[in-house]
Structure 1
């Protein structure tokens, strides 16, 4: 159910008038309501998939107390979500992060933000698809291999791509299926495990079982990456803003629902699974390679475990669908503003279905190309996700910092959601949290692997930024559709 208001309603007319004031002709159909928009964000965050993929790594790093790092990361990310909610309410335009950065920091800052976010976003979709391959292998009871993982990831991505080409209503339905599958997983891994499956005392949440090697602070920072890798995706609610009915009010609400519901789901699932692991010390020292599988098998049996994994696979497909939708709207938004090579094609909608077909093709092709790396790399998913998460957080902070500067210079947003007197405090906390997260993501942790492996994320980010600067010099930065925005309301940092 999309819960969208009828076309031509006063709510949609008001949103179209706001869009015209921001310099764009209303071209999309507003077919998404609050729940459908929330589904995009929740599916993108995919807390169930994140917990299943990263639980064992966090356990080995710091033992069960890694749970508290998730709570800390979620608290920090709430501040970022509040910043985005304000920006999305003031500028409910397709392309989300790019448009917020551009309106608050100018065309060049917006382009660099979008450039980094685009690479990270497409990589995120590919990484999630690749990460779903091992779960599919368990369901089908086939051996895992690089070739199988690559084919499985491509198959997952193809379903998501076809859903996007089928139209906004279809992709909304698929993301809603992901929400319901995630809630079923929450009921099993959170509720059922806590009530019927717990075999460990609550005290294990403070017992590190000897993990940390004498530097437990460093171990906790490494373990906190489970939260850093999971708790984003709420920004996707703003990527399709021009297709949301009552966007200036609905999008901020969808974002806040995503961070609260998605974050709460991840915490509850993690708690339920921690208390249900049959041999917690073996899980902490790594001798129990799949603690979640062991817990599910003991409590649910083989059939229950497979049903849970089917729900998980539905969540993965839904997440990839949401990410591809977001990336295609970013391609479109950049094309509409003459901010990318091929702008004249990427910035168009199909006449009949009002879909950014060329932008969808660009997203589909790049996603499949990235997934093809899996044919030659056995840990493609890990490599892709490590880079893309850092890129996501960097682009997040590029929005936060210009939003903070704008508030310090007196910017007063006119959207339905405003931070008011708390804006500077909220944005300052969001910036501090974001910078700390980026450092944590990029910090070299494997000296034995050599300098290239340790600094690959930083080098990759630097190369992408340089390429972005080079492309920026070749663009005239003259929007093809947009009219000149009014000073004061749009160019807040100029």
Structure 2
């Protein structure tokens, strides 16, 4: 494909790789000096992707909303989510192999479509990560109370959530090696213990007569009220499965800390996605069929614990929930890790308020500690907002999903424009490449992502999310209008900033 970019535009993507050149040298071709700790190998890369998706967390967080909205057939909404996220995985793997930079949501569109486009895309992703980690902190607090049989008030649950967010922030602020080490342990526990318990419940259901719902129940659902058509209730129930697969591309955000990033990251994306889809579906299937007393779930704040208790007893249920808490914890840990790399990447190009402080990297620990702590403070403020309005938590999960799909939609539009103009870098030998399938995949994805975005904005169950998200986006517009636009026009921000202001980058 002929590349129609101007010389100035083409300078934003690196030249072809030189044989024997390492990843740090390639980073310099993008205009950055290697400052982060490139210590993430194949296993850690897979673990980051797997824990960010976190099938167990998805099931524990999305089961109640799905089952109470649409009954047992809600599990089939996962098969709406899988092809949607497969399309995004193909797209993300294709670009990650060519532009392996921290803060992918900003970097890809900024280098291929311009810094203004990159700003709004990166900002949407940043909102997604902050909303996601805030939701996870609150969910963790709720299940912790369940394990210890605490009757938590809203305020108590919020303060526990703040504490767990603070712990994850401090771990990430210390060093990426500690965060990935803990993450690897958590993923190991998730695969061995949580999946093992799911299989144990499945065996009990098969061995003990009349100990499970019939398979036909998976095709018999009802709306939560007579006014809502079932199709709308079923689609609304898909929020859990969709949220459960968000973050499949997260490992791209730690590209500058990944060894042999161009080859490793696309592969671990596909491995993490495939493993998560299989585990999540099996867990949904087993736990739905394992319901012995559907009425008990209607008033339960922890339906999975209730189901395990019905099958294996309350003591065993609490042990399982305690182990599952580690899965939620490492999911939160990974959210903090990848979210802060995006904030660091934006700040390195002087795109954020207080960029000078936010792009600071601790020289010994090689971690963007100021960005980590700042993201944690924002999450804590969001948690505290629920003390003023209980409705705040009704928006966090929906806003996270809406923000990510806005990111996917903007990325797809930008990449489609870049592909038509011949701006996508050529693939290096041995790396993942969509090749001729790129434009057809992008066109199909554009239609699919737009449909999901429309549903998240206009389905009755998500009423209000669009207004809240619109208000958040308005802040990005104001920052661009009154500050960022001038910075970009004068060369004081954007992908060339770090190269042209090396003294500023090292502060």
Residue segments in structure 2 that go unaligned for 5+ positions in a row: 1-17, 207-211, 502-507
**Quick check: 1:403 aligned with 2:420?**
no
**Range 364-373 or range 144-153, more displaced:** 364-373
1: CA distance, partners of 2:187 / 2:301? 28
**Quick check: 1:202 aligned with 2:227?**
no
Q: TM-score, normalising length from structure 2?
A: 0.86
Instruction: Give the match for residue 347 of structure 1.
Output: 359
2: CA distance, partners of 1:343 / 1:468? 13
2: CA distance, partners of 1:196 / 1:12? 56
**Quick check: 1:73 aligned with 2:81?**
yes
2: CA distance, partners of 1:184 / 1:339? 42
Instruction: Give the match for residue 42 of structure 1.
Output: 50
**Quick check: 1:311 aligned with 2:323?**
yes
**Quick check: 1:414 aligned with 2:427?**
yes
2: CA distance, partners of 1:177 / 1:243? 19
2: CA distance, partners of 1:334 / 1:209? 46
Q: Is the 8 A contact 1:444 1:455 kept in 2?
A: no
Change (3 A) 1:455 1:245: closer
**Quick check: 1:467 aligned with 2:482?**
no
Alignment match of 2:497 (pick from 475, 480, 483): 480
2: CA distance, partners of 1:189 / 1:445? 36
Instruction: Give the match for residue 370 of structure 1.
Output: 382
The equivalences for 1:118-137 within 5 A come to 118-137=126-145
Instruction: Give the match for residue 492 of structure 1.
Output: none
1: CA distance, partners of 2:90 / 2:276? 15
**Quick check: 1:104 aligned with 2:112?**
yes
Query: What displacement does 1:80 show?
Result: 0.5
Query: What displacement does 1:371 show?
Result: 1.8
**Range 128-137 or range 431-440, more displaced:** 431-440
The equivalences for 1:192-231 within 5 A come to 192-197=200-205, 199-209=212-222, 213=226, 215-231=229-245
2: CA distance, partners of 1:116 / 1:308? 35
Change (3 A) 1:409 1:87: same
Instruction: Give the match for residue 15 of structure 2.
Output: none
Query: What displacement does 1:177 show?
Result: 2.3
Alignment match of 2:399 (pick from 387, 404, 408): 387
1: CA distance, partners of 2:300 / 2:403? 32
Q: Is the 8 A contact 1:67 1:267 kept in 2?
A: yes
1: CA distance, partners of 2:94 / 2:281? 26
Q: TM-score, normalising length from structure 1?
A: 0.88
Query: What displacement does 1:250 show?
Result: 0.8
Query: What displacement does 1:13 show?
Result: 4.7
Change (3 A) 1:77 1:197: same
The equivalences for 1:248-259 within 5 A come to 248-259=262-273
Query: What displacement does 1:457 show?
Result: 3.6
Instruction: Give the match for residue 4 of structure 2.
Output: none
Give the aligned CA root-mean-square deviation in angstroms.
Answer: 2.5
Instruction: Give the match for residue 209 of structure 2.
Output: none
Query: What displacement does 1:394 show?
Result: 0.4
Deviation digits for residues 101-132 of structure 1 (CA, Å, limit 9, x no counterpart): 21221111111111222122122111111111
Instruction: Give the match for residue 94 of structure 2.
Output: 86
Instruction: Give the match for residue 138 of structure 1.
Output: 146
Query: What displacement does 1:57 show?
Result: 1.4
2: CA distance, partners of 1:180 / 1:115? 32
Query: What displacement does 1:248 show?
Result: 0.6
Q: Is the 8 A contact 1:111 1:472 kept in 2?
A: no
The equivalences for 1:296-307 within 5 A come to 296-307=308-319
1: CA distance, partners of 2:469 / 2:333? 28
Q: Is the 8 A contact 1:186 1:268 kept in 2?
A: no
Query: What displacement does 1:11 show?
Result: 10
1: CA distance, partners of 2:395 / 2:112? 33
Change (3 A) 1:174 1:338: same
Q: Is the 8 A contact 1:442 1:458 kept in 2?
A: no
Deviation digits for residues 428-471 of structure 1 (CA, Å, limit 9, x no counterpart): 22222211221222225169xxx8x4753453354244234334
Instruction: Give the match for residue 58 of structure 1.
Output: 66
Change (3 A) 1:446 1:24: closer
Instruction: Give the match for residue 253 of structure 2.
Output: 239
Q: Is the 8 A contact 2:141 2:160 kept in 1?
A: yes
Q: Is the 8 A contact 1:333 1:347 kept in 2?
A: yes
2: CA distance, partners of 1:233 / 1:91? 18
